[in-house]
Amino acid sequence: MRLDHAELRVISLPLLKPFRTSFGEMREKTFVLLRLSGEGLEGVAEGVMDVRPDFREETISGALALLKETVLPGVLGQEFTNPEQLTRHLARVRGNRMALATLEMAFWDLWAKSLSLPLSTVLGGVRDEVAVGVSLGIQPSIKATVESASLHAEQGYKRIKLKIQPGWDVEMVRAVKAALGDLPVTVDANAAYSLAHINTLLALDTLGLDYIEQPLAWNDMRDHAKLQKLMLTPLCLDECITSAQDARKALETAACRLVNIKVGRVGGHLEARRIHDVAASFSAPVWCGGMLESGVGRAHNIHLSTLENFTKPGDTSSSSRYWARDIIHEKLETSGGMMPVPKGAGIGVTLDLPFLDTVTQLKVDVHPERRAVAANPA
């Protein structure tokens, strides 16, 4: 497949409600959207890097520059038989996994469309719907948290994940657990704790959580291994895992017992599938995390979640929880805690171009053997 043209956009979508984590509060989601064309077809993907390097080290401005000035000019005008060949070509670029994932994922969508097959089929998926949990940001009060968790439990979500940080943890989690009974509850610290918080972490260990996600530093497997030895509750790693090699090391050293796979964090679908397979070899379950994606990224996540070892509910909850209007025509909505896989070739969703233009902050066209041309949105 010959790659002919690429369009990069910076999109900003207002959230229906502020979403607060240990990083801070988010009122809108800004992201890079890539439209990749070849042989009369188009593949789309969105980047998960943030404006600031708070989750991982990549940023929107850095990824945008790398894609438009180096990566895309290096692939446009060339032919790639399959995603594996494209990934080998991209291997010369070190790091920058989120930026490279944006291209790799768009190519998977394009390639699946060229085969007239759903992305889930070419990835090797085994389901036509996936179990879904919900991620709740830090709320104004414990009462508000319990009410929100209870509402989502009534809507059928299969797991409630609570964002925590020092000072907002044990008491709040205990109240939610008491309200929800046997429904699985997890917590996500986004690397906000250290071993100096061991008393708090051991208190969380007594609450019957399904797992505790990334409690310690984003790049520290060693201390996670120390902590896991002290706890009955499984630890789940997120920020620490950027490759199958990372997953192998984490599971070999017992730094965790399950893995959150975010396809954008690990460089794309091919590496996500490798992590899935490595975890399966350790009998460790995986689940698909979210980065407040629009319908494009959400659709990619849903298709990935159809792989066999995605046995824990993921973060691909209903789009209507986040957006008054999404950038795609299709409605990605759960029913009874299950998300249907979008039908059709590729990721199975189509861009709402008139609306997309209204939320576009920057648009850049990239052609083979030509410099990128930036334009303000019309």
CB 173 within 8 A of CB 209: yes
Active-site hit among 113, 262, 312, 363: 262
For 365: left if phi > 0, alpha if psi spans -120 to 50, otherwise beta; the answer is beta
Q: Which two tokens stand for residue 309?
A: 């070892």
Of residues 297, 296, 314, the one with CA closest to residue 305: 314
For tokens 């005008």, name the residue. 77
| Interacting residues of 173 by C-beta distance below 8 A, sequence separation 6+ | 162, 164, 185, 187, 204, 207, 209
Q: Residue 216: which H helix or E strand, with range?
A: none
* Alpha carbons within 13 A on the beta-carbon side of 209: 29
Catalytic residue check, 312? no
| Interacting residues of 111 by C-beta distance below 8 A, sequence separation 6+ | 1, 43, 82, 83, 122
Q: Provide the angle, in degrees to the nearest 10, between the axes of the packed helices 244-252 and 221-230.
A: 40
Distances from the Cα of 299 to the Cα of 44, 105, 327, angstroms: 10, 11, 12
Active-site hit among 29, 113, 158, 163: 163
Distances from the Cα of 329 to the Cα of 233, 275, 326, angstroms: 41, 31, 8
Give the phi and the psi of residue 135 in degrees, each rounded to 5: -110, 120
DSSP H helices, 243-345, are 244-252, 269-281, 295-304
Catalytic residue check, 229? no
Beta bridge partners of residue 9, listed in sequence order: 33, 363
**How far is the C-alpha of 99 from the C-alpha of 373, rounded, in Å?**
19
Bridge pairing between strands 235-237 and 286-288: unpaired
**How far is the C-alpha of 332 from the C-alpha of 334, rounded, in Å?**
7
Sign of CA dihedral 365, 82, 298, 217: negative
Active site residues: 163, 262
